Chain A
Amino acid sequence: MFTLTRIKYQLFRLPGRTVLLLLAAMVFLTSLEVYLINLHTCQAALDSLAENIPVTARVVNRNGTKHNRLAIDAELFDALTAQNVHNVLCTANAAGALREPVQTDEQFAGGDTSITAANHFSAVPAVSAGTVSFAEEADRSFLTGTEGLCGISEKYAEQMKVTLGNELTLPVYTVHYSPVGVRYIPIGEQNLRIVCTYPYTETNIGHSPDIIVPAAWLRAKTEQAGEPFVYSSLSVVLDDPLRLASFKNKLAPLGFMHVSEGDACDAISVEDEMFIKTAEELLEHLRLYKIFRIPFFVLIVLLVMLTVFLVMKSSRRDIAIARSLGEPKRQIAVVQFLSAMLTQLAGGIVANGILTIIIHTSLRESQGILLVYLLCAAIGTVFALAGLMRFDTLALLGKAD
């Protein structure tokens, strides 16, 4: 109680000194908070960059001119999709003959049914997911499964006189594109149930296929038939573009090549221009602030030390009187320490409140910074008091000012 009374007395006896220390605390905390908020803001911007600017990796042919109608080996597909990626979009092409018979010389030439196998409607540019009509028991997730389900274009449905729920039985041929032409590889007669329809659309890279089937289903059927399966397009989005170098380092061992010359379908193009240019600027900024972090804290400690020392200097005479009356040095130091810390705490809270309004920091962040500042202030105050208490009581009391 006596200590509390002494602290109260210390704070209110010379209000000018208290206000000075309070203002100094506000300035120091402001500088610390601004510095740390800057750091966190930059880091937050960097962390959210992946969401705002996704990085896509796309398999292309060796000279980079083609992104679909490729022949991507299933092994390359498995290798790439096993990495830290999401939003995998893949297609494979096939053909069938629902009404038109196979050629008499058994040389299949495309048939009357174009089939695209995909794992998501987004992978097929000429089909907009929003325009697909599903049968009651189905939804767009059927493309991720391995069942013999399919969607058909409305134009094809009209031509072939089929509708939702119908079963189609037709010979299917997987399509292998190569620089010299197209190869059709038979995988036998397949049964498909129609679960959705979509409007026929034309875009500048093609038109809607007659039938869309799940890519995994087509692959399973092809492998069952003992034939090699190839994808005609593949793109993925990186989970963590900040680990771009790790991802790129793994590509060569997996069998992916750089774009150069040739037609092999094993090159990768990473669409990361916006991400890299923005992230690099943020990283430089962040790095600068991280380097100065420790010197900055040291400076704050020094400034607090100096301020407390100078503000408390006028209390030396009071301290000397208290010492001469027998009060223990420790108790005097505790009173001085607590009064200084309370003043700085008050200054810190006020500065925190003002800055929260200006910079819109979160409560948690502000509290954390206040704690850091109080730690710096405590260290500075201890050093200041250590210097302050080093005097000869009699010499000071006997000295004429």
Chain B
Amino acid sequence: MDLYPFWNSLRIAAISCGIVFFLGILCAHYVAKLPRVLKGILDVILTLPLVLPPTVVGYLLLVLLGPNRIFGSWMMSTFHTRMTMVWYSAVFASAIVAFPLMYRTARGAFESFDPNLRDSARTLGLSNTYIFWRIQMPCCRQGILAGTVLAFARALGEYGATSMVAGYTPGRTATISTTVYQLWRTNNEALAFRWVMINIAISFVVLMAVNLLERRERREVRK
């Protein structure tokens, strides 16, 4: 059994989760501070990928990244790099689809952060960067963690947009989800079933880890 789809899926999910982690927190932090109207509009735009069908995201990505399209042709002529049908094409797809999950949970956490804590930290002469990373982030740990896990899980399960921009090339762009689809289509049910079990196992472990972390945290708080 060729384990390439396993490593490729993990790699794609981990990288897009990393991107989404910082981008989501950044956006959440700044959007939470904006005036109401602007906040409402930006919020809708940033949440859009959550409700759009993955095929729409895939289509828009293709229109942007295809070798005959604006950005894709520029990348091709300047860096001789293909933006589609390579493994990292799937990173764009999963990152976009997973982004709203991180952004929304982080924003929720930031909004429930007690502003008195920030103000008192300021009276102690602490810098904004210090307050953000050492006070606000630890206080919002729960929400951030939940968002990260959701984003990772969503990125791992991305199929629609991925299959459009990265395709299914065994040993190159194959992920667990596209492999399962191809195996099912070509009547290789035994192997498809094994990949399904692998995927369920990964998701199980990830969610289990989160529950354990949360429980440990609760115990620490009680102490």
Do A and B originate from a single complex? no
Residues of chain A at the chain B interface (Cβ within 8 Å): none
